[in-house]
Structure 1
């Protein structure tokens, strides 16, 4: 029987935080608390999938509807949903239905319980994306009162660094959000948080989908410069453009879930031809939950376009080397189940791959992540496995972990 490689303790670069009900009421300045995000327990009617930025429709105060803990902020009504806090439920019960904090596994929202769940899952350190703010803070971008929205962004980051990560002894890695509506405020927030040890920040995979300038305009250069100067990784989660790939308008959610990596393909192509990685050669980009099996072909295609079409394609002067050059130097992919990608590891890049557990979403490998990793990677050399499950993540996130 062949000897299987032992899986070292994992650094997960993509998990999720279900914000506790007290977050903004505790961390906002007093003058904002009354208008800040708050939670009420209400009866919620059937939740219907509609796709797009809003994703779901629902009604409140439906007689005999299930109880759910619901966020209220300006005109936004946002029920917590079971498939977003899915750990502890059977696979067939991970539905888009309302859920209360009492019904959730405490690791969804409590940092001490989260670390305990990580311990039983062979995970040493974890980076968590937001839920109510959405994957790059779109909730506050869409708000009317931008003074309050900025306070909410800063309160979230204060909570993230001081409460969520503060007593975890490095097990919980801080991930900040930015005020997307103002690049100078975004730059300042990166610098503010880097000064207290936060070296990862959320950003949109395709900013124009949010009504924001594209990366081709130069508008975001002060933000990218701040990230490069502070060694802050730019983390882009699938769905951080508020538009999920779709096919037929009446297709079930399973179609969008199957196509979720499409935005990462589009975003990476955008960056490779934008000149951003030429101007900022130490900037690090991370694609979260996008898997890796598609990467070899898009690199081949981008290099072929650069070789054959760069004159009329508008990139002859802006991109001096084949686009794959910048990928291998500055971009990280992320996977949780991708046997095809692992078979193509030489082309994906053994130094460009990170691993995740996606706790507490329905894709999560918790509490069997070590077994999942062994089944996928146990045949690989120990030094390669080390890079995939922790070494590359430590380099990406500026962690002092071996």
Structure 2
């Protein structure tokens, strides 16, 4: 471990690269063009039935006698909000899969001014937020039948994200935009449209084939990766953005999926390391959200060993010219919130690759105790390393206008 010899570390304000937003009920009424509103998402308040985990997804039914819940109705499907995704402020034993209304949520879940207040009490300066109703990378719109309306919804969400959610925050709320996953040319156009107004982050699926989309090995996504590289747009991949979570026995409780969730990030990162994407696009930046980092040292060791010993029959002899870890240290960021094992191995994880998150307002969130949690992790590190992990790497990754006169020199660019 890199130790702080003075043992008196002043904890810098945190930049969280993985938080979440609960969409306000007015989003599509205000931001979707009027000609699409009749076919777009509509807010609904109704009772919720039993929740079942089937085939890697939660299925919900409306029950007039059930817990009153806020939903979205879209193309005849209903999408409820649940306590686990708006958990801040509840006791741990009350963070359940029951439905919830916005009135019952902490206002910081959906109100940007209230979010900034909650960030202030949590020692957080800036925050990057993933969507909820569209799902982590916009799967809701990718699955829609009417793709004309779905495209309008993607653009409306992005306009709301940039102009309303982030607009009056003074840069503290960092825009994270969607793409129309079903059409790579439309995706490129949306990347360029948002980059022109300063957006430097897009959310993408960790494993696109799980969504019925082409794989990253196919070359189909190369125009998207090229546009992200050219505009400096970071490709952010949240666990579960493949619309499934790792599982063992089919009847295992959800706690099994929660424990194994890092497997998605590990699988996706290995996919990218052996895909050639990072070779063809050497300035492209990938960020893994909520994947933690304690697993990374062995994953890199194994990938490098496979490259050395098995690259001929493994199909990567002519595709990957250098050990896979080379591309990780150059182009990939991980993030964590509780991972002391990863901190113990921070030199191998990469002092220039690790970032921090608070996961507000999900059940895993460290709010309002993030300062104490962060201090417990980085308190034994050198001050410059703690700075990089808690904010410096996020600033460099996203090109944020913070600390320009304080930013330490990075070994990875």
Give the structure 1 partner of residue 101 of structure 2. Answer: 100
Question: Moved runs in structure 1, 4+ residues, more than 6 A?
Answer: none
Correspondent of 2:63 among 42, 61, 64 = 61
TM-score, reference length from structure 2: 0.95
Unaligned runs of 5+ in 2: 404-413
Which whole-Å CA distance do the structure 1 matches of 2:224 and 2:308 have between them?
30
Q: Which moved more, 1:146-155 or 1:75-84?
A: 75-84
The superposition leaves residues 84-126 of structure 1 with CA deviations (integer Å, 9 ceiling, x where unpaired) of 0001100110001010110000000010000110011000000
Q: Is this contact kept in 1: 2:60–2:79, CA < 8 A?
A: no
Q: Which residue of 1 aligns with 2:17?
A: 13
Q: How far apart, in 2, do the equivalents of 1:146 and 1:271 lie?
A: 29
Partner of 2:406: none
The secondary structure found in structure 1 opposite 2:90 is coil
Aligned to 1:259: 260
Equivalent residues of 1:51, 1:244 under 8 A apart? no
Q: Does structure 2 conserve the Cα–Cα contact (< 8 Å) formed by 1:238 and 1:290?
A: yes
Alpha-carbon displacement from aligned partner over 1:315-363 (angstroms, at most 9, x marks no partner): 1111100000000000000000000000001110100000000000000
Does the 8 A contact of 2:294 with 2:339 survive in 1?
yes
DSSP-derived class of the 1:286 partner: strand
Find 2:26's aligned residue among 9, 22, 27: 22
Q: How does 1:1-400 map to 2 (within 5 A)?
A: 3-50=7-54, 52=56, 55-63=57-65, 65-400=66-401
Q: Answer whether contact 2:18 2:127 (CA < 8 A) is retained.
A: yes
- Check the 8 A contact 2:22/2:132 in 1, yes or no: yes
CA distance in 2, matches of 1:275, 1:295: 19
Structure 1 distance, partners of 2:162, 2:38, is 23
Contact 1:206 1:214 (8 Å CA) reproduced: yes
**Equivalents in 1 of 2:359, 2:140: separation in Å?**
21
1:370 Cα deviation after fit: 0.3
Distance in 1 separating the partners of 2:250 and 2:273: 31
Aligned partners of 1:387, 1:100: CA distance in 2, in Å?
38
Contact map agreement 1:200 1:232 (CA 8 A) in 2: yes
In the TM superposition, residue 51 of structure 1 has moved relative to its aligned partner by: 5.1
Q: Distance in 1 between matches of 2:156 and 2:19?
A: 20
Rounded to whole Å, the distance in 2 between the matches of 1:350 and 1:60 is 48
Cα distance in 1 between the residues matched to 2:167 and 2:6: 43
Q: How far has the Cα of 1:45 moved from its partner?
A: 2.0
Query: Quick one: distance in 2 between partners of 1:62 and 1:2?
Result: 61
> Aligned Cα RMSD in Å?
1.1
5+ long unaligned stretches in structure 1? none
| 8 Å contact from structure 1 (residues 44, 60) kept in 2 | yes
How far is 1:2 from its partner? 7.0
TM-score (ref. length: structure 1): 0.98
Give the CA deviation at 1:50. 3.1
C-alpha deviation, 1:42, in angstroms: 0.6
Structure 2 vs 1, CA of residues 92 and 2 (structure 1 numbering), >3 Å: closer, same or farther? farther
Measured in 2, the distance between the counterparts of 1:208 and 1:108 equals 31
Q: Aligned residues, how many?
A: 399
CA–CA separation in structure 1 for the residues paired with 2:307 and 2:331: 18
Q: Say whether the 8 Å CA contact 2:16–2:124 is kept in structure 1.
A: yes
CA distance in 2, matches of 1:125, 1:335: 16
| Secondary structure of residue in 1 paired with 2:39 | coil
Q: Give the distance between the partners of 1:51 and 1:351, measured in 2 at CA.
A: 37
Give, in angstroms, the shift of residue 46 of structure 1.
2.6
Given that 1:6 and 1:374 are in contact with CA atoms closer than 8 Å, whether structure 2 keeps it comes out as no
How far is the alpha carbon of 1:5 from its aligned partner? 1.3
Contact 2:60 2:78 in 1 (8 A): no
**Equivalent position SS for 2:198:** coil
Q: CA deviation at 1:70?
A: 1.2
Distance across 2 between alignment mates of 1:36 and 1:165: 23
